[in-house]
Structures are given as C-alpha cells and as structure tokens.
Amino acid sequence: MASYTAKDITVLEGLEPVRKRPGMYIGGVGSAGLHHLVWEIVDNAVDEAMNGFASSIGVTLHEDGASITVSDDGRGIPVDVHPKTKQSALEVIFTVLHAGGKFEHGNYKTSGGLHGVGASVVNALSKELVATVRRDGFQWEQRFRQGVPQGGITKLGPARGTGTTVYFHPDSTIFPKIEFDADLIRERLEIASYLHKGVRITFDDQVSSRKDVFAHDEGIVAYLQKLVVARGARAVHDAVFPLSKEGGVRLDLALQWTEATDELIRSYVNGIPTGSGGTHEGGLRAGIGKAIRNYIETHNLTPKGVTLTADDLREGLTGVLSVFIAEPQFQGQTKDRLNNPEVQSAVDGLVRPALEHWLNHNISVAEAIVARIVLAARAREASRAAQQEVTRKTSPGNRLNLPGKLSDCTASGTAESELFIVEGDSAGGSAKQGRDRTRQAILPLRGKVLNAESASLSKVLENKELSDLVTALGCGLGKNFDATRLRYGKLILLADADSDGHHISTLLLTFIYRHLPQLIHMGRVYLAQPPLYRIDIGKETHWALDEAQKAAILAQHKGRATPEITRFKGLGEMMPKVLWETTLNPKTRRLLRVEITDALVTDRVINELMGKDASARFRFIMDRAEEARELDLT
C-alpha cells in the first residue's frame, strides 16, 4: 500500500463525513442509495450534453453486476494542474465535497437535493474509482480508493476526440449488498433520453448481455405517445399539445386527452421522477383548468344542466411534465414531491396562456376536448344518481334493505365474516346448511349475471344479481366506494368447477374488476376451490380439486383397495357436510386470492381477451390468481 501524503490525509478528512454518514448524502445504504451513485454520475454526463457539449452517453453495467462505467463525448473534465493549489479541476471535483458548483462557469447545472451531491460523494463511497479524460490530443487518468487519490493525474498517451469516462465500484464496507438493478437503470436511462431530446444514451448490460440504445428527437412528445399506447386508451385528438420554455424555469410539457377514465401525469424535476407530484404539478393543473374554462366561456360552450368540476376537465388526460430548476426542495417520506412554492405560479403562468393560445388555433381539437369534458361531467352525474339509489337501498344496519335471497351471518361487519356467492338455488341450499352461520353468509345467484365489461353503471345496477351483490356488500361502488361500510371481511366466489361455473365467475370478476377494484386491491376477493372428485379407498375418503390431484391420490394409494371415484356434477349434489369439509371450513379449505399486481397491464390484457370466449378470460384471471395461491388457514 502506498504511503499517504499530507494532501491525501486532507482528502480523507474532507470526505470523512460522507463515509461516516452516507445516509445524509445519498439517503441510505440500501438499494436506493446504491443507485443514487449511478444517477449522480449519469447526471453529470447528461449536464455536459444539455449544455451542448456532448451528444452521446454510454453506461455499462459490468459482468459482476457491482461496477459501472459511464462515459460521454463532451469536453472532458479539465486536467491541467492549478499552479497555486497543485491540483487539477478533476481532482477537486472528485475529492472536495460540494465542489461541483465551483466549475459551473455559468453553465446550467440541473441537479439538486439528494441528487447533485457531487462526484466526490460517489468517490468517497467507492472501493475503486477511475476517471479517464480525453482532451487536447491525450488521454489522462486518475485513480482513487475510498476517495483517496492513488497518485496524481497521469498522461496515458495520445488520443483522439474528447470526453470523460468514470468507472466505479461501490465500497462493500459501506453498502451491505452491492447488486445493481439493470431494469431500474435501463428505465431511468430511457426516460432521460426522452427528457433530453437529441442525446443518445446506450446501455450495455453485461450481466445479461443486453444492449439498448435510447434516442428520441421528439423528446417528451414521443414519451407521451408511448404512455398513451401503454394505457391502451384511445386519444380524443391526434395532435399533442407541446410546450417547451427555456429561461427562469426550464419546462417541457406534452398533453393529450384520451378516453381513459382517469388522469395520468408523469412529472419530473431535473430529470428526477416526482411520483407524488408537488408544486409543478399543482401549477400545471391550475393552468390547464384556467385555460380550458376560459376557452369554454369565450366560445359559449358552457353545457346546460351540468357543472364542470376540476376533475372533469382532466378526465382521461395524459401528460408528461419536466421542469429544471436551480434549487429543488423535495418533501415527503420518499422525497418525491416538489415543494418550491415559486414553481407553482411559474408553471401555471407558462401553461395557461400557451394552452389557451393552442386551443384557439386548433378549434377542432379544442371542440373534441370540450366534448370529452362535458361527457365526463354527465357520466359523473349519472353515476351519482345511480349511486344514490344504491345508497338509499343499502343504508347500513338496516336488515330490511338486504336482498331477500341473502342468508346473512350473525357476525357480519367483522373482518372474520365471509360472503359466499353461490351459483343456483340447490348449491345455495347445500352451502346454507353446511356453513358456519356465525361468520359465513350465502348469496345464491339465480338469474343471469350481466357482462359488465362495457356496460354503463346504470345498466349494471339494473341487473338484479349484481345489484343484490352490491347491496349485500354495503360498500357502494365506483367513485363512491366506501371501504368502511363493507359488511364482510372476505368475498368468496363459489362456482362449480365446470365451464358454466367458470363463465359466471368470469362475469362476476369482470364486474368486480370494473366497479369494485378496491376490493381486489385490498385483497378481499377469493375464489373457493370445490373438489371435482371424491375418491373412496377402503375406509378413507379423499377429495381432488382437479385431474392432477386425482392422479396424485391414486398414485399414493397404488396397490391398496380398489379406489372408487365419483365425479361431482355440481355443488348442488354435494352433501352439506361434505361441502363444509372440503370447501367452506377455514381450517381445511383452499382459497385462491384474486390479485391484480399491475392494473394497467391487466386492463390491456383483459381488453385483448374481450373478443375471446369466457373460459379463456377466466383462465387468464385464474392464472393471475394462481400466482398468489395460498393455503388459507386463518
């Protein structure tokens, strides 16, 4: 080991606070903190590109998954040694805390907050860091360990072109686990390529031998179009509203209204995603609201008999907002909410006039947007009327309002209570007799269940079976869903294990997915698993859920008494006691929890399956449920 010089000791002392309390600089030493190192280095290269000096950035995740190289084709960090300090700019950048700002020269520096802590922080937290610079016809290198220079800057030899390359391997004495997430890095780089149009970013993932190139000359507009496609929503108008402004606050914005029923805005501050929004998003919403209302008023488009709420104006809106500001203040648990108050008025002040101007110059687009907004308002009012009807019928605690067919349990309203939806009267009868009546309620369905895929809320509520279900649950639906009024802890669909049963379950799940998705997200919806076979072997009785289980049971008892196999034709045939033992008893039954992990994807897949037969859709839903298969012994 080389001996330390006095200067090295100074460096060590200078960066000591970083190694002592890494969390203060990068938020923590977990995965998020580890990846902050990458964002920091990449942001420096992106800055060089944004200032117009670099056009390509390369990021390599090395085979070990624990080290990274980032390079750009910019000017190269200055390497000449300052006569007084005997240090190069490069050495200062990597060894002096918060040195970044000293080298701005009026350049636009974008990073801030947790980000933009400086390359010296990355250096301090790296077991090894190698900076290579090409400029003035030569290649230069300086090496560091835990932030300490391993010698001065060295001229390696002649080189063409200019640029900066930084290799680093985080220090395992700081980070308990060093494993970079290639997908996370890839996603971040792709977004950066949209937010900084014209920059070409390559990602070489040597862990899985995958290379990607991200480059988008259309920038944020291309990102918006990608988002709209990913949502599976049809656009209400073709032309995207684009807005780009340099100056005090640099802003890039793209907006498009779609037929989706919610709003989707992705926002960024200095390239950092702000998942919890903040003042920039607030300014955007205010600006959009004022522009649209002003347009509606000046063109005498105010609808009769319905008032437009702020939410109506933005229903189906898809937007990407990116701002760059000097000193971002982040707030909240995850520090992903912008808190600078001045940004609100700045964004509002930019968006309102620009959007209004655009609407006035694109009248047919503006009319399509206004029509979409009025439709949203009317749908909302219709849904509220339907909702009030349901609410009237389901005022809690009023037993008289419950559906006549419901066999309620005595413990309804508790987390232990369960509502079983059973197909047909005979199965309903068995379930009613076999159940634990203190905590298990039975609602038999007799009539046809409506396909709620594309039916309006009022149509859905005209369907007796579905409205009975909503009434029994007591929690309302759609936008008026109120979890506190839910009358049962679990909603369990109990259908025959045949294609009719699958069809009914599909229709019920479609309804729940469309109008009571919160129940699924809360993990309250289950599929019961009634057995398909009864297998008697000697004095023992076994039940099998499917062919595979039947085969397994037969194989287990090979060579013993001849098995007698009975296939259940339907739940109705099952003796109440058997139904209890196999399907209802919480101690022995098996339940499948219905889960939706990614609502967007599921939505799209369901749309794709819409044309297909019910059992294909059911299999899809079952596959999703299967992933969350659980042995329920509560």
> Considering the rule CB under 6 A, would residue 563 count as an interface residue with ligand TSJ?
no
* Of residues 42 and 421, the one with the C-beta less far from ligand TSJ: 42
> Which residue in 292, 252, 279, 246 sits closest to 345, CA to CA?
279
> Considering the rule CB under 6 A, would residue 119 count as an interface residue with ligand TSJ?
yes
> Considering the rule CB under 6 A, would residue 199 count as an interface residue with ligand TSJ?
no
Catalytic-residue membership of 500: yes
> Residue 317: enclosing H or E segment and its boundaries?
strand 317-324
* Of residues 188 and 503, the one with the C-beta less far from ligand TSJ: 188
> Which residue in 315, 290, 295 sits closest to 375, CA to CA?
315
* Residues β-bridged to residue 444: 422
Q: Coil, strand, or helix at residue 148?
A: strand
Q: How far is the CB of 136 from ligand TSJ (least distance, A)?
A: 11
Which of 181, 367, 416, 500 does the annotation list as catalytic? 500
> Considering the rule CB under 6 A, would residue 45 count as an interface residue with ligand TSJ?
yes
> Considering the rule CB under 6 A, would residue 48 count as an interface residue with ligand TSJ?
yes
Specify burial of residue 597 (Cβ count, 10 A radius: 0-12, 13-18, 19+): exposed
Q: How far is the CB of 134 from ligand TSJ (least distance, A)?
A: 11
Catalytic-residue membership of 423: yes
Q: Which stretch binds ligand TSJ (CB under 6 A): 26-34, 38-46, 149-157, 482-490?
A: 38-46
Q: How far is the CB of 16 from ligand TSJ (least distance, A)?
A: 20
> Residue 265: enclosing H or E segment and its boundaries?
strand 264-269
Mask 62-91, x = binds ligand TSJ (CB under 6 A)? --------xxx-xx-xx-------------
Contact positions with ligand TSJ (CB under 6 A) in 444-483: none
16-52 burial, b at 16+ Cβ within 10 Å, e below that, comes to eebbeebeebbbebeeebbbbbbbbbbbbbbbbbbbe
264-269 and 317-324 strand pairing: parallel
* Of residues 58 and 434, the one with the C-beta less far from ligand TSJ: 58
Q: Alpha carbon of 116 to those of 43, 366, 393: distances in Å?
A: 8, 41, 58
Amino acid at 153: I
Q: How far is the CB of 234 from ligand TSJ (least distance, A)?
A: 42
> Considering the rule CB under 6 A, would residue 105 count as an interface residue with ligand TSJ?
yes
Mask 158-187, x = binds ligand TSJ (CB under 6 A)? ------x-x---------------------
387-396 burial, b at 16+ Cβ within 10 Å, e below that, comes to beebbebbee
> Considering the rule CB under 6 A, would residue 41 count as an interface residue with ligand TSJ?
yes
What is the DSSP-derived secondary structure letter of residue 339?
A: -
Which of 408, 423, 468, 581 does the annotation list as catalytic? 423
Mask 567-596, x = binds ligand TSJ (CB under 6 A)? ------------------------------
Q: Alpha carbon of 538 to those of 557, 559, 560, 565, 578: distances in Å?
A: 10, 12, 8, 12, 18
138-145 and 591-593 strand pairing: unpaired
Which of 496, 581, 603, 632 does the annotation list as catalytic? 496
Q: Coil, strand, or helix at residue 583?
A: helix
> Which residue in 551, 569, 568, 571 sits closest to 492, CA to CA?
571
Q: Alpha carbon of 208 to those of 140, 212, 478: distances in Å?
A: 31, 12, 43
Which of residues 103, 214, 481, 620 is near ligand TSJ by CB under 6 A? 103
Q: How far is the CB of 11 from ligand TSJ (least distance, A)?
A: 16
Assess contact for 571 and 531: CB atoms under 8 A. no
Mask 514-533, x = binds ligand TSJ (CB under 6 A)? --------------------
Q: What is the CA radius of gyration of the chain?
A: 31
- Token couple for 460: 């859905």
* Of residues 61 and 495, the one with the C-beta less far from ligand TSJ: 61
* Of residues 37 and 255, the one with the C-beta less far from ligand TSJ: 37
Q: How far is the CB of 268 from ligand TSJ (least distance, A)?
A: 20
Residues that bind ligand TSJ (CB under 6 A): 41, 44-45, 48, 70-72, 74-75, 77-78, 93, 103, 105, 119, 164, 166
Tell me the catalytic residues: 423, 496, 498, 500
